[in-house]
Every structure is written in C-alpha cells, then in structure tokens.
Amino acid sequence: MTQDYAELRQAWKAANLSPLWESTTAHKPPPRPDPALHWGWDHLRPLLESAMKVTSPEAVERRVLLLVTPHPRDADDEATARTLAAGIQMLLPGERARPHRHTMNALRFVLEGSGATTLVDGKACPMDVGDLILTPAWTWHEHQHTGTEPTMWLDVLDVPLHLWLGNVAFQPGPINDAPVTTPDAAFSAANVVPVMQAVGAPHSPVFRYPYADAVRALRHAPVLDDGTRQVRYANPLTGGSAMCLMDALLMQIEKGRPSRPVLTNSNSVFCVTEGEGESQIGGKTIRWRPKDIFSVPQHNPCRHTAFSETARLLRVSDRDALNRLGILKEKISE
Ligand code: 1HN
C-alpha cells in the first residue's frame, strides 16, 4: 500500500466512508448451520420444579426458564433459534402474573395442568393441555390460576427479531386503552366469519385455538409432498398466519412414512404433542417423546420419523414472515 493510499484511507475513514472492495462481509462463505438443540421433558421437569420453589410471579413478573443456545452470538443472545425465543412458564394455583404489553408477539402452548387462564385484552382464554393461546403484539396479557395443579406452558416469542429491528417496547399495567375484543365464539362456526366494523389489527381476532379442534382438522388433512399432514393456525378473517412475524402449525407423522428431508432458510421450534419418534436435523438425531422441545435452525435438512402409530408436533417458525418478505427458500429432497 502506498503512502498516498494509506492517507486516502484515513481521509475516507474520517468522513465515515469505507471502500467496499476491501470488505469481505458480503462475500463470506455461509457459516455452518447452528446445531439443533433438544430439551427432553424428563430432564426438564425436575428443573422446572426447582424454579417453582425458588421464585414467584409476584417477585419476578413471569416465572420462565428460557430455552437458550449454549453458543450465543453475543452477550445479549438468548435466542432458541435465531429469530425465535422460547421458554417454559410455570404458574401455581392461586398465583397471578400481572398484566403488561410489549411489541413482541407471543404464543403459549399448554403442556401440563389445568385451571389457568390468560386474559388477552380482557378476553379470557382458558389454558387446557394442547391449547394454543396468542398474545399478539401490543395486546395486554396476564395469567391467572384458579385450579389445583401447577400449570406449565411453552412460550414462544419473536424477541430476537424485534431486538434486531430496534423495535422493543414494553409497558407495565395497569391496563389502559384496551381495545374492544370480539368473543372467540363469533368465529366458532366453520366457514362463517362475523362482519366487523374495521379490522386494523395485523393479527387474528381469535386468541385461543383448542387442541381438539386442530387435531380434528389434522386427521383429514391431505398428505403433503414431504409426507406429513399439516394444519396452520390461521387468522380466520384473512386465511393468513395468526400473527405477522411468527406462525404456528400442527403436523402429523405416521409410522412407516418418515417425512422427506426439508431444507429451508426458516427457523423453527418444535414441541412434541403426541407420540414418539426421532428427527434427523443436520448431522444430529434427536429422539423425542411428548412435551419434548427441539430447535431446527435454518439450513439444517430435517426429517421426522414416528415410532408410535401417529406422532404430532407443534411447529412454530418464521417461515411465513420470510415468505412475505420474498426471501423464503425451501427444498424437499428424496
Ligand atoms: C413475556 O411477556 C411472557 O407475558 C413470557 O407471559 C415470556 C419472554 C421474553 C419476553 C417477554 C408473558 C417472555 C415475555
């Protein structure tokens, strides 16, 4: 490098300029995919028990153990799979987690217990095992428990994406300005939806998707190219995904019909709802049972095999968001 060039570089730097021809960022070879992670319920359960003993929502707002990567990208990385952060929340009979709202979308999938209720903008959503409850962006939400057994659920949020977009905001209660909600019953007849005054919200007006309803539809869903049957949790007013940046579906795998490997740039968190089996994710094989949770980070080919007659998996992903951004890539192989 000549003296002149070095001086020029200094001048560019002082003017907040940088020569692209010296940058390697855009041309780096793709990094190795993050490895899949597995949280087995048998292993988790006693650790959750200890969290129930040492703290309360009274003290910490939400009693959640986050499912984090052991290979964080930076000190603030608490992601489960790049854009998604998942955790297990525990609520004991008589407890209440105060209302708050935030810009992040969240969904809850109930794993154990009964008698808890999530209030979403004031709408009561009973939390029975297998139910999916939405608390979309900027909706007020609180959790209450009037039952007799501890209730535990999977929380999945799009926190990492909001952090990256510089869009994290949080407001504690008391509730103010809560919008008027429409009862879920207005959407309970198939193929009929209420005519609404003005629909401004970018999310589903339904906040609770009972498990039995999803399974009833899933049993009759067609077999897809990858060998699975799937139902999506949809916004009934649009047919699109229930929330903008995170979608959810329930998938069924049958014994003797392993799914074909899918390679995608979307990220997923899976939760086993019924049955046993294994998933090959990149070079890793994860053997799973009910309530197990595992991640499928982008660029890992993924194939599922059921060992029981039927196995059902909840999949939460950023797939629909990537698709609407026009950047989804997906390939099914033999
Ligand atoms: C949150 O608001 C809840 O309201 C649960 O139940 C988990 C994880 C990260 C950020 C906010 C809840 C959360 C969360």
For residue 49, is pLDDT > 90? yes
Structure tokens at 122: 């004031």
Do residues 115 and 149 touch, judged by C-beta distance below 8 A?
yes
Q: Is the C-beta atom of 64 inside 6 A of ligand 1?
A: yes
Q: Is the C-beta atom of 141 inside 6 A of ligand 1?
A: yes
For residue 246, is pLDDT > 80? yes
Q: Is the C-beta atom of 62 inside 6 A of ligand 1?
A: yes
Q: Using most ligand atoms within 8 A of CB, pick from 78, 88, 98, 155 the residue to mutate for ligand 1.
A: 155
pLDDT confidence of 197, banded at 50, 70, 90?
A: confident
CATH 2.60.120.10 fits 33-182+192-328, yes or no: yes
Residues 6+ apart with CB under 8 A from 250: 214, 215, 218, 230, 231, 233, 273, 312, 313, 314, 315
41-74 in b/e form (b: 16+ CB < 10 A) is: beebeeebeeeeeeebbeeeeebbbebebeeeee
pLDDT tens, position by position, 116-135: 999 999 999 999 999 999 99
pLDDT confidence of 334, banded at 50, 70, 90?
A: confident
Give me the amino acid identity at 238.
T
CA of 141 relative to ligand 1 center, distance in Å: 10
Q: Per-domain residue ranges for the chain?
A: 33-182+192-328
Q: What is the DSSP string of 207-232?
A: -EE-HHHHHHHHHTSPP-TTS-EEEE
For residue 324, is pLDDT > 90? yes
CA of 159 relative to ligand 1 center, distance in Å: 9
CA of 62 relative to ligand 1 center, distance in Å: 7
pLDDT for residue 31: 86
Q: Is the C-beta atom of 157 inside 6 A of ligand 1?
A: yes
For residue 310, is pLDDT > 90? yes
